[in-house]
Structure 1
Amino acid sequence: MVQATVGNTVGALQIAITVSTMLFGIVTMQCLQYMKRYPDDAAILKTLAEALRLMELGQSICVSYMMYVVTVNGSQSTRFVGLGVAVILGGLITAVVQSFFSWRLYRALPQPFSYIGIFCIVIANLRCVAAFVFSPRVITQDVEEWRTHSFALVTVLLSSGAVIDVIIAVTLVSFLLKKRQEAFSRCGPSRWHLTRIQRHHCTGLLQKSLSGSQPLQSVCNLQSWLS
């Protein structure tokens, strides 16, 4: 069995860091679009978005620096300061984002389901603490030592982050679908009329009349999106 070292795993590191840098570019674009499209949002939300972007920038700088060092030095690399700092920043970013969405779950869901949000906040912050504990090992240990002495901790870090993301996503989607059905049930006959208008619009029977009626066309587009 081949022993995992920095020298024979540098390819995987380069691929992972390249993909990570591309994702950072997407995050930067999304932040800029958010600032441009929603200038009237609360200052705390815009500050939070900018802080996350700066932490993502710091993480990208750290991992790119380590990719350069490992590529040049290869197996001679014995300290991985950049990766250690990147682990800390990654833990902070994940904790902030997951706590934000978990708090929205707590505010939106009725009791006792709202405690799902509190549970996710606690787990996200414990995961952040675990990232701080793991970061010194990343700096001082080699790849084989990570796998031998920190396998359980790395597994917990990765699996807990994925589990929290799935819980938040499933809960939010279920809640929004339920609210959508409740809204449609309150509409009653109005929804039936909107559906008929949409069908006529799609078949072209109302194309001429809708061409000069922007509000009615907007209603039809909204109904099409909701359906």
Structure 2
Amino acid sequence: MPGAAITIGPAVVGSMIAGYLFGCSTMQTYTYYKRFPGDRRVFQILVAAVMMLTFAHIICIMYWTWTLTVTGCENPDGVTIFSSSRDANIVLTPLISTLVQMFFIYRLFKFSGSKMLAAFCGIFSMLTLTGTLVDAAKALDIPTNRTGKNALNWLTILTLVAATVCDLVITIGLVYFLQRERRRTIFDQIHNIAVRITLWVIETGLATSMSTILVIVLFCATRNTFLWTAVYNVLADVYTNSLLAALNSRETTCRRDTRVIEVSTGCDKSLNPISEKSEGVN
């Protein structure tokens, strides 16, 4: 059984970071509904669903940390990562990540027009969700006096790798098609907008993929110490903030460019606008 120092420590650090990111996502949600009251209903529902799941996620983390730091003081030798709240969080995290990934997959499809590429990313996203749910079901069957070892290490790693591949393909694909659109136009304004959107794509895409890669590395290297939980605890919040940042970033482009035409998406109903000064350009 791992000691309290390498179980409680990561839990507290992860909970603190997750709480901070949840505050950021709450502010971003307020900003989204205030700035985009007429946005597509499906996006409004998506934001509401993701935030409800994230709220449940942060409650599970807080309760889990409480059991480790307060209740665990009565029996320090019995401190363990496994609990009902932890098992619930294992289910909530892939649900949040899958919803966010579906949003970015839709965005990739709108930019690329490739159903095959969108289907490829969708398969990896669903593989992540299905594999994690199976792993969580196996965890629920393990008795209360669990050991530090994961019963399905290979499945855990597989789901994390699938999530990373999905995020990286989406990021690389969006950057490629944005740059292709930029090269096709002769207007400097389009170039500037494409550059800004590309930077947003890289920032949000790398945030999720690098977080998942870090979880994989820590899980493989220190799976029996549970240091990887500090990063896994904040994974859902990283996905939530990436979604809200992508939606709210449209405000900057809309302010700078008032005459907007829809190349791949529009400013008021879509994901990312590409603007031009000339109304006759398609």
Question: TM-score, normalising length from structure 1?
Answer: 0.72
Q: 1:131-172 CA distances to partner (integer Å, 9 max, x unpaired)?
A: 1112244454645222xx222122122222222111111111
Q: Does 1:94 align with 2:97?
A: yes
- Distance in structure 2 (CA, Å) of the matches to 1:144 and 1:60: 23
Flag structure 2 segments of 5+ consecutive residues without an equivalent: 190-255, 258-275, 277-282
Match of 2:85 among 76, 82, 87: 82
- Distance in structure 2 (CA, Å) of the matches to 1:4 and 1:130: 26
Matches within 5 A, 1:30-109: 30-72=28-70, 73=72, 74-77=76-79, 79-109=82-112
Alpha-carbon offset, residue 77 of structure 1 = 4.7
Match of 1:175 among 170, 174, 177: 177
Alpha-carbon offset, residue 8 of structure 1 = 3.6
User: 2:11 matched to which residue of 1?
Assistant: 13
- Distance in structure 1 (CA, Å) of the matches to 2:77 and 2:134: 25
Alpha-carbon offset, residue 76 of structure 1 = 2.4
Q: Does 1:117 align with 2:121?
A: no
Alpha-carbon offset, residue 97 of structure 1 = 0.8
Alpha-carbon offset, residue 6 of structure 1 = 5.6
- Distance in structure 2 (CA, Å) of the matches to 1:46 and 1:110: 24
Higher helix share: 1
CA contact (8 A) 1:104 1:117 kept: no
Alpha-carbon offset, residue 4 of structure 1 = 3.1
Q: In 2 relative to 1, CA 75–125 (structure 1 residues): closer, same or farther, beyond 3 Å?
A: farther
Q: 1:190-220 CA distances to partner (integer Å, 9 max, x unpaired)?
A: x59xxxxxxxxxxxxxxxxxxxxxxxxx67x
Match of 1:4 among 2, 5, 20: 2
Q: Which has the larger radius of gyration?
A: 1
Flag structure 1 segments of 5+ consecutive residues without an equivalent: 193-217, 220-225
3-state DSSP of counterpart to 2:180:
helix
User: Which protein has greater RCO, CA pairs closer than 8 Å, 6+ apart?
Assistant: 2
- C-alpha RMSD of matched pairs (Å): 2.8
Q: 1:63-107 CA distances to partner (integer Å, 9 max, x unpaired)?
A: 110011011214425651111111111111111111121122223
Q: In 2 relative to 1, CA 67–136 (structure 1 residues): closer, same or farther, beyond 3 Å?
A: farther
- Distance in structure 1 (CA, Å) of the matches to 2:3 and 2:157: 19
- Distance in structure 2 (CA, Å) of the matches to 1:60 and 1:7: 22
User: 2:206 matched to which residue of 1?
Assistant: none
CA contact (8 A) 1:87 1:135 kept: yes
Identity of aligned residues (%): 24
Equivalent position amino acid for 1:128 in 2: L
- Distance in structure 1 (CA, Å) of the matches to 2:83 and 2:111: 42
CA contact (8 A) 2:131 2:156 kept: no
Q: Does 1:156 align with 2:154?
A: no
Equivalent position amino acid for 2:176 in 1: S
